[in-house]
Amino acid sequence: MKVPLLDLKEQYKSIKEEILKVTEKIFDSQYFILGPRVEALEKDIAGYCSSKHALGVSSGTDALLISLMAADMDAQQTVITTPYTFFATAGSIVRTGASPIFVDIDPDTYNMSPESLERVIASMTDKERASLKAVIPVHLYGQCADMDPILKIAKKYNLFVIEDAAQAIGAEYRGRRAGSMGDFGCFSFFPSKNLGAFGDGGMVITGSDELYDKLRVLRVHGSHPKYYHKLAGGNFRLDAIQAAIVSVKLKHLDKWTESRQENARKYRELFANSGIDDVIKLPVEKEDRHIYNQFVICVKDKRDDLRLFLNEVGVGTEIYYPIPMHLQECFLDLNYKKGDFPVAEHAALHTLALPIYPELSDDQLAYVVEKIAAFYKIKK
Ligand SMILES: Cc1ncc(COP(=O)(O)O)c(C=O)c1O
């Protein structure tokens, strides 16, 4: 049996007619950049994410970058984030000239630990604290970070909060939607996300009129009015084709999310009966609405052998992420070393993402667990 990590073709089959209809209209109109399709999606995403404003941008990475630019980051400043994330979170900080400061993660959710955040800020000198401008919690795998204490700490130290919600559209924390709690919420429409485009795309949401106005200007090279530049922005525009495709998909998103949650429930049942629950830690659901962009298990040992074995028997997996940010070669000048963030380093060595996409069959789910159980029973 084959169980790929993700099979977008199955999803496409179910919405093909809708997609072809809307894209044909765009081809006929020859209106490709920004415009009414993008505005319609912005309105829908603002509503879906309970935010006042939404701005379509070229990718999740650019959503982070433009938010940092709107927060006026520069080379003298620092931003706190987690070392256990996709590169773009830390990469976008560096691209503004600022420096990232990392804090360790919670061992259950893999999200920023508020205790570590408080500890790191408390240990700073006054000068270091004065340079600190923002914090970027990441809602990893589709579950929100523990936002209340993070927001409280940010308020205490007067920091911008930029939520990296690239993996978490529609996730909730104590009744609030991912992205809507901080100053900026950043989303990715990369095809493998729960709400994916047919290419790159992203969105920033904000509740602030002032920040929204600034984001709008930064998206078009800082031009306002046209060809007059008070700010140096970039080309962060979303195109009409991607916006229209994402709009079609948004109507199906809650149904797909429920299927992912249902698959997670089935995995839990299957693992509970597999006889190997002592070697596997399942995802811990701490917050209200986990949207399961990824279903990530943590295994006691032999993670890489397990991955090879699963690959041989037709099960796709991935490691998100094998090298924490503080150990990446391009960040060596930040002077972090192995051992600085033990929870993130442990996660990088022991976690494995299993297939969780909505169209998986019960037989496929059972097959994945059966093969993992077979591997550990042989290796015990
Ligand atoms: C946590 C996180 N942040 C940022 C990004 C960047 O998004 P994109 O690939 O759309 O640039 C991603 C997506 O891969 C992500 O998973």
Q: What is the pLDDT of residues 194-248, one digit of tens each?
A: 999 999 999 999 999 999 999 999 999 999 999 999 999 999 999 999 999 999 9
User: Which residues are CB-neighbours of 58 under 8 A, at least 6 positions away?
Assistant: 200, 201, 202, 235, 236, 237, 238
Torsion of CA 320, 325, 330, 335, to 10 degrees: -160
- Asked if residue 166 and residue 260 are part of one domain, the reply reads no
| Average of per-residue pLDDT across 293-311 | 97
- Asked if residue 257 and residue 230 are part of one domain, the reply reads no
Q: For a pocket test of ligand 1, which of 167, 187, 318, 319 has the largest count of ligand atoms closer than 8 A to its C-beta?
A: 167
- Asked if residue 219 and residue 343 are part of one domain, the reply reads no
Query: What's the confidence (pLDDT) of residue 186?
Result: 98
In a domain, 334, yes or no: yes
Domain that holds residue 240: 8-104+111-250
- CATH number, position 328: 3.90.1150.10
- Asked if residue 193 and residue 50 are part of one domain, the reply reads yes
DSSP 361: -
In a domain, 3, yes or no: no
Cβ(182) – ligand 1 distance below 6 Å: no
In a domain, 305, yes or no: yes
Above 60 in pLDDT, residue 40?
A: yes
In a domain, 2, yes or no: no
Query: What's the confidence (pLDDT) of residue 288?
Result: 83
In a domain, 205, yes or no: yes
Query: What's the confidence (pLDDT) of residue 209?
Result: 98
Average pLDDT value for the chain: 97
Q: Which of 250, 285, 308 is the last residue of a domain?
A: 250
Q: Quote the ligand 1 centre to 88 CA distance (angstroms).
A: 6
Structural domain tally of the chain? Answer: 2
| Average of per-residue pLDDT across 55-64 | 98
- Asked if residue 313 and residue 198 are part of one domain, the reply reads no
- Asked if residue 260 and residue 204 are part of one domain, the reply reads no
Q: Quote the ligand 1 centre to 375 CA distance (angstroms).
A: 32
Cβ(145) – ligand 1 distance below 6 Å: no
- Asked if residue 307 and residue 194 are part of one domain, the reply reads no
Q: Which atom of ligand 1 is nearest to the CA of 92?
A: 4
**In the structure encoding, which two tokens stand for residue 226, read together?**
């046209």
Tell me the residue type at 228. Answer: Y
Instruction: Report yes or no: 171 and 285 within 8 Å, Cβ to Cβ.
Output: no
| Average of per-residue pLDDT across 141-152 | 98
Cβ(85) – ligand 1 distance below 6 Å: yes
- Asked if residue 366 and residue 311 are part of one domain, the reply reads yes
Query: What's the confidence (pLDDT) of residue 380?
Result: 55
Q: Which of 231, 250, 269 is the last residue of a domain?
A: 250
Write the CA distances from 300 to 347, 355, 376, integer angstroms. 11, 20, 10
Sheet holding 132-136, edge to edge: 53-57, 202-206, 184-188, 160-164, 132-136, 78-81, 99-102
Q: For a pocket test of ligand 1, which of 188, 246, 321 has the largest count of ligand atoms closer than 8 A to its C-beta?
A: 188
Q: Give the strand pairing for 184-188 and 202-206.
A: antiparallel
Above 80 in pLDDT, residue 379?
A: no
Query: What's the confidence (pLDDT) of residue 204?
Result: 98
In a domain, 127, yes or no: yes
- Asked if residue 134 and residue 232 are part of one domain, the reply reads yes
Q: Which of 187, 221, 250 is the last residue of a domain?
A: 250
Above 90 in pLDDT, residue 312?
A: yes
- CATH number, position 52: 3.40.640.10
Cβ(320) – ligand 1 distance below 6 Å: no
Alpha helices in 165-223 (DSSP H): 209-219
Closest CA to 358 of 245, 285, 255: 255
- Asked if residue 240 and residue 333 are part of one domain, the reply reads no
Least confident segment among 232-236, 274-278, 347-351:
274-278
- Asked if residue 290 and residue 245 are part of one domain, the reply reads no
- Asked if residue 335 and residue 245 are part of one domain, the reply reads no
Cβ(196) – ligand 1 distance below 6 Å: no
Above 70 in pLDDT, residue 374?
A: yes
d(CA 87, CA 91): 6
In a domain, 1, yes or no: no
Cβ(138) – ligand 1 distance below 6 Å: yes
Alpha helices in the chain (DSSP H): 8-29, 36-48, 60-70, 87-95, 114-122, 126-131, 147-156, 209-219, 240-250, 253-272, 303-312, 342-350, 362-379
Question: How sure is the predictor about 115, in pLDDT bands with cuts at 50, 70 and 90?
Answer: very high
Question: How sure is the predictor about 377, in pLDDT bands with cuts at 50, 70 and 90?
Answer: confident
For the whole model, what pTM was predicted? 0.98
d(CA 72, CA 136): 15
Closest CA to 47 of 289, 251, 258, 255: 251
Q: Which residues make beta-bridge pairs with 56? A: 203
Query: What's the confidence (pLDDT) of residue 207?
Result: 98
Cβ(109) – ligand 1 distance below 6 Å: no
DSSP reduced 3-state for 280: strand
